[in-house]
């Protein structure tokens, strides 16, 4: 097969090509501006304008009698639908990007992504790691007396926080239910996590999930009405103050609210951001579980005109946070009180099950130094992470 010989260019042609490339780059650089990814819709993203380009395009001059062409001006705070250059990594809500806008079409193109301070990721249904939110400061782990708190899920989120380099904050919502004896377990659970050094707040945002569709159920609003008013009122006052405490904790921060369906994540977002219009559902009367309402990760800013004041990233819930991409060693690193003990086990490959010989974790349980349920939770999560995804 004959080889195709590359044409040799003269010095003048090379200079002309270099000049054209420099002009193209200068044109792109002058059109670039800063933005933040506000929502992700597969191949398209919503990006908010946070700085104007050096070169602002002028609208076309329309001759008399000609139809007015489409033109979208570029203004600070506006949100544009954008495509992404094919050579960029997968982007997430909260990413800070450099992009160009085309006023003739109303669409933009993301050219680059700024370095991230943190990244929360999860495996998708195809077991590929997918970013959920970038540059997050706090992951607020929301749980409640109803539906019943799931300690294993809380532990899972704490592991996520550890590996995403995000601060965890425990939020016990529907705190007005704690006066009912049936829900004392939830308060004890909160105390256990606080003893491990995790920060927490109690809240009780007005929540339709607190009321079951069938008021004759034992865990219904009637149970609340039958409790002593003197027991409930102090908790309600504490919860109302808790919402203020929560606001102080997340002030000027980018926050994710995570937790099982029905604990009131969307209701809390509505209480913190009354104009967010997050959908809420009531608790299922059959399962006592929540009905999932959030479908798309979206950044809800505290101040739409100044994203540096932080906001809330509302994300899909419990089913979205698998840990298949982590190793068993990664899992135990997220258990702050157990990780330092792992090196004292008799065998380096210790599985930390109850019958593991010479396991330092179970020795610590016997001595009352660590909680048995935390070790059992660790074993469960490690087994999940060590299970082939097929």
Other Cβ atoms less than 10 A from the Cβ of 116: the count is 17
Residue 101, strand partner residues: 108
What is the reported pLDDT for 288?
38
Residue 389 marked as a ligand binder: no
What is the reported pLDDT for 23?
52
How much is the mean pLDDT over the chain? Answer: 80
173 vs 145, 206, 242, 330, 372, CA distance in Å? 8, 10, 9, 29, 25
Which of 162 and 10 is assigned the larger pLDDT? 162
What is the reported pLDDT for 122?
80
Sign of CA dihedral 177, 180, 185, 189: positive
Question: What would the mean pLDDT of 315-340 be, rounded to a whole number?
Answer: 81
Sign of CA dihedral 351, 354, 356, 360: positive
Residue 118 marked as a ligand binder: no
Residue 207 marked as a ligand binder: no
Instruction: List pLDDT tens digits, range 156-212.
Output: 999 999 999 999 999 999 888 888 888 888 999 999 999 999 999 999 865 544 444
What is the reported pLDDT for 318?
42
What is the reported pLDDT for 68?
84
Contact partners, residue 233, CB within 8 Å, separation at least 6 = none
Q: Rounded distance, CA 39 to CA 294, Å?
A: 13
Residue 350 marked as a ligand binder: yes
Residue 297 marked as a ligand binder: no
Residue 266 marked as a ligand binder: yes
Backbone angles phi, psi at 58, to 5 degrees: -95, 145
Q: How far apart are the first and last CA of the chain?
A: 46
Q: Rounded distance, CA 74 to CA 106, Å?
A: 9
Instruction: List pLDDT tens digits, range 257-299.
Output: 888 888 888 888 888 887 765 544 433 333 333 443 344 688 9
Which of 237 and 205 is assigned the larger pLDDT? 205
- pLDDT exceeds 70 at position 145: yes
What is the reported pLDDT for 324?
79
The answer to whether the bond into 147 is cis (omega within 30° of 0) is yes
- pLDDT exceeds 60 at position 217: no
296 vs 35, 38, 185, 229, CA distance in Å? 19, 11, 33, 40
**DSSP-assigned letter for residue 171:** E
What is the reported pLDDT for 320?
54
Which of 150 and 224 is assigned the larger pLDDT? 150
Residue 176 marked as a ligand binder: yes
Which of 124 and 4 is assigned the larger pLDDT? 124
Burial 266-295 (b: 16+ CB within 10 A, else e): bbbbbbbbeebebebeebbeeeeebebbbe
Proportion of the chain above pLDDT 70, given as a percent: 76
Question: Please, what are the domains in the chain?
Answer: 32-53+72-114 (2.40.50.140), 119-320 (no CATH), 328-385 (1.10.40.50)
Contact partners, residue 227, CB within 8 Å, separation at least 6 = 179, 180
Residue 357 marked as a ligand binder: no
Q: Name which of 30, 27, 22 is nearest 55 in CA terms.
A: 30
Q: Rounded distance, CA 145 to CA 262, Å?
A: 11
Residue 261 marked as a ligand binder: yes
Residue 97, strand partner residues: 35, 113
What is the reported pLDDT for 192?
95
Instruction: List pLDDT tens digits, range 56-94.
Output: 888 888 888 888 888 999 999 999 999 998 888 899 999
The whole-model pTM stands at 0.78
Q: For the CA atoms of the chain, what is the radius of gyration? A: 27
């Amino acid at each position: 097969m004959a080889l195709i010989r590359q044409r040799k260019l003269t010095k003048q042609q090379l200079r002309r090509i270099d000049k054209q490339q420099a002009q193209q780059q200068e044109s792109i650089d002058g059109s670039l501006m800063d933005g933040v990814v506000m929502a992700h819709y597969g191949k398209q993203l919503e990006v908010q304008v946070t700085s104007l380009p050096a070169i602002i395009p002028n609208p076309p001059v329309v001759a008399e009698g000609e139809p007015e062409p489409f033109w979208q001006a570029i203004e600070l705070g506006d949100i544009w639908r954008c495509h992404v250059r094919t050579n960029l990594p997968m982007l997430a809500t909260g990413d800070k990007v450099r992009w160009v806008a085309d006023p003739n079409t109303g669409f933009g193109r993301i050219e680059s992504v700024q370095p991230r301070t943190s990244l929360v990721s999860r495996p998708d249904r195809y077991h590929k790691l997918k970013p959920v939110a970038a540059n997050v400061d706090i992951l607020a782990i929301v749980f409640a007396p109803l539906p019943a708190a799931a300690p294993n899920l809380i532990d899972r989120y704490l592991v996520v926080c550890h590996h995403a380099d995000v601060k965890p904050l425990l939020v016990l919502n529907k705190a007005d239910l704690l006066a009912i004896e049936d829900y004392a377990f939830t308060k004890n659970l909160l105390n256990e996590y606080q003893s491990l050094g995790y920060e927490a707040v109690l809240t009780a945002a007005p929540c339709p999930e607190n009321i079951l569709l069938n008021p004759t159920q034992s865990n219904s609003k009637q149970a609340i009405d039958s409790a002593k008013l003197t027991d409930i009122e102090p908790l309600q006052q504490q919860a109302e103050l808790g919402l203020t405490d929560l606001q102080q904790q997340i002030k000027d921060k980018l926050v994710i609210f995570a937790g099982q369906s029905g604990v009131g994540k969307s209701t809390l977002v509505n209480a913190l951001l009354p104009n967010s219009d997050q959908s809420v559902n009531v608790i299922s009367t059959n399962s006592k579980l929540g009905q999932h309402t959030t479908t798309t990760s979206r950044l809800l800013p505290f101040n739409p005109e100044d994203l540096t004041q932080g906001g809330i990233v509302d994300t899909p819930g419990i089913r979205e946070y698998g840990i298949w991409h982590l190793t068993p060693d990664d899992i135990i690193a997220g258990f702050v009180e157990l990780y330092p003990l792992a090196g004292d086990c008799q065998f380096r490959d210790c599985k930390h099950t109850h019958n593991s010989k010479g396991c330092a974790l179970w020795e610590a349980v016997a001595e009352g130094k660590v909680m048995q349920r935390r070790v059992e939770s660790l074993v469960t999560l490690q087994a999940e992470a060590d299970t082939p995804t097929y």
